[in-house]
Structure 1
């Protein structure tokens, strides 16, 4: 029994069959008991009716009349005096003798059942006292053959048996459809996960319902899409790494061979050596940033937060970047709200700001304006870096934080970028529990806004 549909079917059948059996058994007993009780009450009522007639005229003529009426029915009557002597009966007295010998003390006015064991005795019996002038002068015994009771119960059993079989058949049919209805989407999901495990991520599952199975199907599709995206990103990442490593190595090897094999003038030799050094630095930067990303991916780096006075922090940033801005004839302005503190890792925050300012400088022309602004809004601290450089096309905005993604690959390479700076910024922002928002328009400029949640000192 390895199939889930079979297990579910058997489990449902056992539970439902158990419930049906219990309900049928309970209902059968209730109906049988009520029908037997009803028959006994009818027999008692018939005896009480005869008793009422005899109390008006307790004589031989009336006794014969009562006996005659019962001789034509499916019940029998025995009439005795107060001492138990039989006055008359509708059937041979010997048949009923053992029931009449029952002690008759304290019989209620409405009579009582003398024998009710229909499944053990040939008759059931009731007795009604005949009272004249408040004294018991005789008794009316009523008898009914228990064959009719057994016949009634047998018919009842047959009806319940037929109903039971019909219920079992319907239950099995319903369970088969129900178990298949539940397991069919699960089987499709199993096949989909099997395809995913083989590397086929283009799986599609039909929308089954809005319940947990539907949610599971959506989750599997989402997982397949994510894995497909990760596979493509991994392939692109490996291709980009291969390309990024190959290019500087090609330059280094090529120019090193030229310098080694040819007897070049010193000026030309220095030119090639300068290119080799630049490519070596580019390669070292690339490897450093790859190691940085590897640490971020494995969460093996540590964020050591401390309370930072942002005015002092950005003053140091200004001191370090001012000479570079002046050299490129760029206007750098800084506006930081007074008495503003942020709980963050100062080294990582410095790395984030350096990367963003470096980007602004690279993609802005000489004479451009770059600004850094910091302010507090409710329980959030905002840091914005804005420039009026070349901007980012709208179609590229969703991808700028992807590794090795470049808006203008040729221009980025000429500026020395690796395509990893913004990816590192994004990971560091996430590690701080903050968020980064980008607004940009081509030939107008770009603004990066960092939003940190304020933490208590």
Structure 2
């Protein structure tokens, strides 16, 4: 009884068997009672018919005729006068005398039932009065042997037993099929969850329909896919971080050994120390980004929101970044309406825009233009950063917000990025309850759009 299919099948079988047994007994009892009542009604009607004939001609010939008719039928008749003596009978008097004694004197015009106990008695019986000119002249007793009723009940029992056997057999077969159909998907789900618990996320569950089992299978499949994705992400993350940490450390160690062990000219010494300093800054930036992502993942990243005057905020960003664009012979155009406010963390919002503007500088050529546009629509703040640089290939766009993902792997170190800037941007935007989207075409440029809720105008 440890298998779910056996438990379910047993419970279903007991419930259905109990219901079928109750219904069969109820139906059997109702049919038997109905059949016996029909026999008594028919017997009473036959007696009333005989009494009607005798009321017209109550003489020996008519009495003999009635008795003769019943002697050929499966019923019997006994005709008595008002005093009680038997005038004629189609059945031996010794067999029915006890039933005549049960009759009462006050018999209604439509007659009455004398004996209806078919289970224990030999006969069922009715009586009908013979009334002539308002006076009762005698009685017509009708008898039917209960053997015919018992025979009928036995045939009915046989039919019920056969029907019950077929019904129970079909019920048993259907329950087995349904139990298997219900349990098999659960067994597959159990096997899938066992594989997941062992770290094997390559499971595939069939669709079982649009029901609770189907929803459960879909949820397990989604869980397996997500865990498989997270496992792959973790492996990629560990591989990437190992590479990112190893590279600057290798540079720092190698050039430090050169500076330490060799007699170098001041020019060479300064060159190597500059490289060591750059790699140290790169390593410091990487560790800072990793700490930021770790805080975000642990939900310990604090967002301290306050009301920001976006006009003044964007003007300060323009002042800070314009020299960097001019140095690369690029232009930065800023557009922001007056009296527009947003509730956000100023330092984190600045970090978001700085990262996107920094990417615009890295992936644009001299003479290109970058536009920072701030606007409001339906109480939302829209921040767009668009450039006409080299753009992002279509196959890379779905992955640019992944950690350590770089569009140009070969130029990543030359461009100085860690591959985590856009990942941090997305997490910061989500932490503010906003959304970020990207539209890009190669050799035409890239546009990032950030939408924050809660714009205010004053």
Into which bin does the TM-score normalised by the smaller protein fall? over 0.9
Shift of 1:74: 2.3
Structure 1 residues 453, 106: CA separation in 2 closer, same or farther (over 3 Å shift)? farther
1: CA distance between counterparts of 2:8 and 2:337?
Answer: 66
Provide the residue aligned with 1:239 in structure 2. Answer: 239
Count how many residue pairs are aligned between Structure 1 and Structure 2. Answer: 457
Provide the residue aligned with 1:452 in structure 2. Answer: 452
Is residue 74 from structure 1 mapped to residue 74 from structure 2 by the alignment?
A: yes
2: CA distance between counterparts of 1:16 and 1:378?
Answer: 61
2: CA distance between counterparts of 1:306 and 1:55?
Answer: 114
Shift of 1:165: 0.8
Provide the residue aligned with 1:283 in structure 2. Answer: 283
Structure 1 residues 340, 104: CA separation in 2 closer, same or farther (over 3 Å shift)? same
Deviation readout 1:213-262 (Å, 9 max, x if unpaired): 33433333333322222222111110000000000101111111111112
- Structure 1 window deviating more from structure 2 (30-39 vs 191-200): it is 191-200
2: CA distance between counterparts of 1:239 and 1:102?
Answer: 106
- 1:234-313 matches, within 5 Å, as 234-313=234-313
Deviation readout 1:285-320 (Å, 9 max, x if unpaired): 101111111111121223333333221221222222
- Structure 1 window deviating more from structure 2 (140-149 vs 96-105): it is 96-105
Provide the residue aligned with 1:335 in structure 2. Answer: 335
Provide the residue aligned with 1:62 in structure 2. Answer: 62
Provide the residue aligned with 1:361 in structure 2. Answer: 361
Shift of 1:442: 1.8
Provide the residue aligned with 2:147 in structure 1. Answer: 147
In the superposition, the TM-score normalised over structure 1's length comes to 0.94
Provide the residue aligned with 2:190 in structure 1. Answer: 190
Contact 2:32 2:153 in 1 (8 A): yes
Secondary structure (helix, strand or coil) at the match of 1:437 reads strand
Is residue 388 from structure 1 mapped to residue 388 from structure 2 by the alignment?
A: yes
1: CA distance between counterparts of 2:90 and 2:344?
Answer: 110
Structure 1 residues 32, 320: CA separation in 2 closer, same or farther (over 3 Å shift)? same
Shift of 1:105: 4.7
Deviation readout 1:78-122 (Å, 9 max, x if unpaired): 222234333332223233233223353543322121211111222
- 1:433-444 matches, within 5 Å, as 433-444=433-444
Shift of 1:399: 0.6
Contact 2:436 2:451 in 1 (8 A): yes
- 1:35-434 matches, within 5 Å, as 35-102=35-102, 104-434=104-434
2: CA distance between counterparts of 1:289 and 1:307?
Answer: 26
2: CA distance between counterparts of 1:209 and 1:445?
Answer: 46
In the superposition, the TM-score normalised over structure 2's length comes to 0.94
2: CA distance between counterparts of 1:77 and 1:248?
Answer: 122
Deviation readout 1:270-292 (Å, 9 max, x if unpaired): 22112111111111110111111
2: CA distance between counterparts of 1:118 and 1:398?
Answer: 87
1: CA distance between counterparts of 2:347 and 2:96?
Answer: 111
2: CA distance between counterparts of 1:16 and 1:456?
Answer: 67
1: CA distance between counterparts of 2:313 and 2:105?
Answer: 112
Structure 1 residues 22, 304: CA separation in 2 closer, same or farther (over 3 Å shift)? farther
2: CA distance between counterparts of 1:216 and 1:25?
Answer: 41
- Structure 1 window deviating more from structure 2 (214-223 vs 410-419): it is 214-223
- Structure 1 window deviating more from structure 2 (393-402 vs 378-387): it is 378-387
1: CA distance between counterparts of 2:34 and 2:231?
Answer: 74
Q: Which runs of 5+ in 1 are unaligned?
A: none
